[in-house]
Amino acid sequence: MKIVIAEPLGVEQDLLLNMAREALGAQAEIMYYDTRITDTAGLIERGKDAEVLVVSNLPLNREVIEGCRKLKLLSVAFTGIDHIDVEACRRQGIMICNCAGYSNCAVADLVFGLLISIYRNIPACDRAVRAGQTKDGLVGFELEGKKFGVVGTGAIGSRVIRIAQAFGCDVYAYSRTPKAIDGVTNVSLDQLLFVCDVVSLHVPLTADTKDLINRDNLKLMKPNAVLINTARGPVVNSGDLAAALSDGTIAAAGIDVFETEPPIPGNHPLLQAPNALVTPHVAFATKEALVKRAAIVFDNIRKWMDGTPVHVM
């Protein structure tokens, strides 16, 4: 069984390969690439003999999928698979497994890292101290008593809800399938945007969620509201959000995801907008989460080899 790990997975090579050998045994021939490439020809070259291909967020288009003629399983070291041509995989009879759950803690942590950085002006406070200045103009806000809106109540959204409640927030939720969660008020998306001081997004990218947050419904939000996006970039219309920040429709935004993977072009609208705190798609990336992710990748392969596949997309 030839298994190709087509890109680095954020885990030290020796540890990663030891994890793979422990999970998969001697029957697996493992090829590991410690560099990341994105060109179609190069990806086909790496995957052309693979029966199992492991990638994280490398874009795999139809041509790449069709060029990997021996491929039977695509083990995606990521939660979302919107970077994969799923239809091409189905036509080729290739099973796709993802790594649901590995980054729940990491992503939820960054939500509050972004929010507290915004609420307490932490980047500006750091600059002030280094410049010999005081707290003048930097008095911030606390979370207790704020109305906190969570859009999408899957595993990550549910964890964010619990943390927001621990901070003393009144939590509101919008989800395609509402859940009965203690202390949470389920409302429509428009109601949530209208009433909440903080809105945190936790939905996958689908045809229905693209531009979910846009010019029209940003106008519903409070002038003091903060929007946090650690989900997928296209869930928010970046141009519309930049305009809303520029004209004071909302107060601030914490953004970890964009239409493309970083590096982001310097003319991206959110890089020009005031009160936008941006991070380079780092929410999922903690040392602990990346080790969890690698373990799930190899467990997915093991179970597929045993005829009991899990996390099938």
The one-letter amino acid at 8: P
Distance CA 10, CA 16 (A): 9
First to last CA, the chain: 22
Task: Please tell me which residue in 46, 202, 281, 311 is annotated as part of the active site.
Answer: 281
Q: What is the largest CA-CA distance in the chain?
A: 65
Distance CA 227, CA 243 (A): 13
For residue 196, what are its two tokens?
Answer: 């909440």
- Is 202 an active-site residue? no
Strand partners, 148: 171, 198
- Is 268 an active-site residue? no
**H-helix segments, 178-257:** 189-195, 215-218, 238-246
Burial string for 158-181 (b: 16+ CB within 10 Å, else e) reads bbbbebbbebebbbbbbbeeeeeb
Task: Please tell me which residue in 46, 159, 202, 232 is annotated as part of the active site.
Answer: 232
Provide the pairing of β-strand 52-55 with 73-76. Answer: parallel
Which residue do the tokens 């009965």 mark? 180
- Is 261 an active-site residue? yes
Distance CA 168, CA 192 (A): 18
Contact 99, 297 (CB under 8 A): yes
Residues annotated as catalytic are 232, 261, 281
